[in-house]
Chains A and B, each alone.
Chain A
């Protein structure tokens, strides 16, 4: 049986206390919410925190609060299942609902939280392996080794940001709140991510993600398309989130965000700009997809081949645009 290494365990009641414990325990303490990402990692000895700070009892991390303008504040400790079952999310934020609904499996979504999915450790099939397996490759840069086996000549780690919700939340313009003993800060969620497989979050080790705010979407429409082998369990190997606001038939504003094709989500600004003021046609969708496709740089460290995954970005950007276009 795969077992956890030993640790000290704290289960504070408030976010403030969590921050306090983190400040006291130092960088070797880790936060655990649903446990669905961290515990497997600990069992494989990726992380062996001396202290676990559990969010399980923290009541002020729960809740889905809708503002009068249609915006929403979601507590980071909200389970994925609760979001999936929230009629407001399904109705007003269908792309987010789709992303949440497609995370792993129903039983895992009962445990995993939205905060956990946002902070999901980057993944790589040289990294997400047991300790003994990784010893056979002399480990990798992300954990105990020196080399990135996906790109051995590269000075950096190329583990993949595999969150389903992140590209959608970026496209929807979400903001996140981080709390530490040093204070509270709020930032656009896109700024939370760093293009590095190891230091993939701008969140400091003593900070806890407490909430996500999604602005009112008005008439804007959004969609999430996930590429993976099976209809359950699997992380995305390519993901596309698109949000389009229309003025009549014409696109007023556009956001196209990719994920699972690199260590950080890819915001396709050029592709999105190409859409503004235009009517979405089959040809335009194909053209925009061709632009969006370029920054995707998948490597051979997930399921399915990276060449195919890159092609799938193009296919799915096009399909997403056509899905959102009025009258199609």
Chain B
């Protein structure tokens, strides 16, 4: 199955040591250089809040924020994240206080099985950071890269709209 000359095992089994900036904390991590950010987060940093559904960019489940933009952590290398601010679902709350999106997702049943939820929350957070008052059409467009098999998306829209309202009113 090998195509081309694969690098020698000794070379590729050597971990890289890097500082990753995750959820506002700089952390020293050692990982194999061919690992994706998804694998580094879940396996080398125990941040299992970020899920995966295909690992090929076909479902949106593994979405995290990189410098505020949603990205598919299954298609980014860990070593490509030098100097990037990474945000995962574990970093959404402020202290013990949940982010309004978390509150409303929980309150309105936007999370059923909850597996796609971290990805949706990440995308939703970036949407609200760009536009505090998105229309339903904007949500349909911006969330079109996150698949959910449970909810039919409707409660997700409602939760984001409720959180947006809260956040607008809170910031006035």
Contacts and interface: CB of A to CB of B under 8 A. Distances in A.
Does chain A touch chain B in the assembled complex, meaning CB atoms less than 8 Å apart?
yes
Interface of A: 1-9, 11, 28, 34-36, 39-40, 43-45, 47-51, 54, 56, 81, 104-108, 110-111, 131, 143-144, 231-233
A107 B55 contact: no
Contacts of A35: 75-77, 80
B72 A107 contact: yes
Given A105-B144, A107-B146, A6 B6 contact: yes
B47 to A, nearest CB: 15
Contacts of B71: 107, 110-111
A9 B72 contact: no
Interface of B: 1-7, 9, 11-13, 32-36, 38-39, 52, 54-58, 60, 63, 69-72, 74-77, 79-80, 123, 141-142, 144-146
27 contacts: A1-B38, A2-B56, A3-B34, A6-B6, A6-B9, A6-B12, A6-B13, A8-B12, A28-B4, A35-B75, A39-B36, A39-B74, A40-B57, A43-B56, A48-B1, A48-B2, A48-B3, A48-B4, A48-B6, A49-B4, A50-B4, A50-B7, A104-B57, A106-B70, A107-B72, A108-B145, A232-B145
Given A6-B6, A108-B57, A111-B71, 9 more contacts: A3-B35, A3-B55, A6-B33, A36-B57, A36-B72, A48-B4, A48-B6, A106-B144, A144-B1
Contacts of B70: 106-107, 110
B72 A2 contact: no
Contacts of B3: 45, 47-48, 143-144
A12 to B, nearest CB: 13
